[in-house]
Amino acid sequence: MKHLAIAAAILFAWPFAAGAEEPAAPDTVKTSPEAANPAPDAAPKAPQTAQERQEANAAKLAGLVRFVGESCKEAQPDYERFKAVVSAMGVDLDAISKGELLMRSMGYTEAYRKNVDESCRKAEEMFGEKGKAIPGLVLRKAS
C-alpha cells in the first residue's frame, strides 16, 4: 500500500504528456463575457475530500489506460492491474465509468493524443514493467 501511495503521488504531481493537464474549455467559452468575470461557483472546483482526490486520480489513470489501449503500437494496458490499482485507491470502477469522471478521463485521453509518440514513451517509462509510478500497468505487446 505504501508503494501505491508513493506511486500515486508521483503520477499526479508530474503530468507525463506535455498537454496532459486539465482539459481546456472550448474557445467559445473562453471568449464569452461571462468567462472574463466568472461567478465564483462557475469555475471548476478542485477535489476537496480525500475521496474526491482519489476519484480524480482514478480518472487520470483511466484516461491513460484508454490512451495506451487505443494509440500505443508497442504497448498495451494491463486491465486487471488497472482494476486492482483503482480498487486499492478506494474508488469503485463504476464511478469512473460514467458521468463527470468519465468525461474528465476522456479529456486526459485526448490530451495524451496531442503527442502520441512521446506520451507512449512516457507511459511505458512511468507505468511499464519497471515503471517509476505504478509498475506493470502498461505492458509491451507480444510480437
In a domain, 21, yes or no: no
Size of the chain in residues: 143
The β-bridge partners of 77 are: 138
In a domain, 105, yes or no: yes
In a domain, 37, yes or no: no
Please tell me the distance from the alpha carbon of residue 58 to that of residue 54, in angstroms, as a whole number.
Answer: 6
What pLDDT is recorded for position 48?
Answer: 84
Contact in structure between 97 and 63 (CB atoms under 8 Å): no
In a domain, 25, yes or no: no
What pLDDT is recorded for position 46?
Answer: 63
In a domain, 125, yes or no: yes
State which residues of the chain have pLDDT below 50: 1-43
Dmax (CA) of the chain = 54
In this structure, the dihedral spanned by the alpha carbons of residues 82, 88, 91 and 96, taken in order and rounded to 10 degrees, is: -10
What pLDDT is recorded for position 69?
Answer: 96
Number of structural domains the chain divides into = 1
What pLDDT is recorded for position 23?
Answer: 43
Q: 34 to each of 24, 49, 53, how far by Cα in Å? A: 16, 28, 28
What pLDDT is recorded for position 30?
Answer: 36
Please tell me the distance from the alpha carbon of residue 94 to that of residue 81, in angstroms, as a whole number.
Answer: 16
C-alpha cell at 48: 476537496
In a domain, 35, yes or no: no
For the chain, what is the mean pLDDT? 77
Identify residue 29 by its one-letter amino acid code.
V
What pLDDT is recorded for position 85?
Answer: 96
In a domain, 103, yes or no: yes
Q: Which domain holds residue 60?
A: 2-15+49-136
Please tell me the distance from the alpha carbon of residue 16 to that of residue 20, in angstroms, as a whole number.
Answer: 7
